[in-house]
Amino acid sequence: MIEKEIRAMLERYFDVLQTQDLNEFDKVFNANCVLYSAQDNNFVVRPFQEYREMVINRKSPVELGSGRKDEVILLDILSDEMAFVKVRLQLFDNIMVDYLNIVKTDGNWSIVSKLFYREGSAV
């Protein structure tokens, strides 16, 4: 049951990254979520609201006709309310690897922190 709920949330996550539907975005990402990345000697900390603004101000991968490839690599359920997930996906022309900490609050799973890394080019 828990794994099925989490996988359903991950499908919404993959869809949100492609469509940038803000109604779904606000369900998938917890309002307290923080995103982190470190690449090429550049450490990025991006609070939810800042990330949301980026999404609002860009064309979605669907609008740009970008390809899509999503994969759940690891799903580790810590409890009935917490889990850790590793995913790989295509976002625009990039292959990204994300580590997601997710929590179930008020009956819904959402991302509370995300570490992301550009693994390479999709083209």
H or E stretch at 84: strand 82-91
Q: How many domains does the chain have?
A: 1
Provide the CATH number for the domain around residue 13: 3.10.450.50
Q: Which of 122, 60, 73 lies closest to 99, judged by CA?
A: 73
Its domain, for residue 106, covers 2-121
pTM: 0.94
Contact 54, 39 (CB under 8 A): no
Written as one letter, the residue type at 35 is L
Q: Per-residue pLDDT for 122 more than 90? A: no
Q: For residue 16, what are the CA distances in angstroms to 40, 60, 71?
A: 27, 9, 15
CA atoms within 13 A on the CB side of 84: 4
Length of the chain counted residue by residue? 123
Say which residue the tokens 């799903």 belong to: 75
d(C-alpha 7, C-alpha 24), whole Å: 15
Report the chain's mean pLDDT, rounded to a whole number: 96
Q: Could you report the per-residue pLDDT of 3-38, keeping only the tens digit for each?
A: 999 999 999 999 999 999 999 999 999 999 999 999
Banded pLDDT at 123 (limits 50, 70, 90): confident
Say which residue the tokens 């990345």 belong to: 37
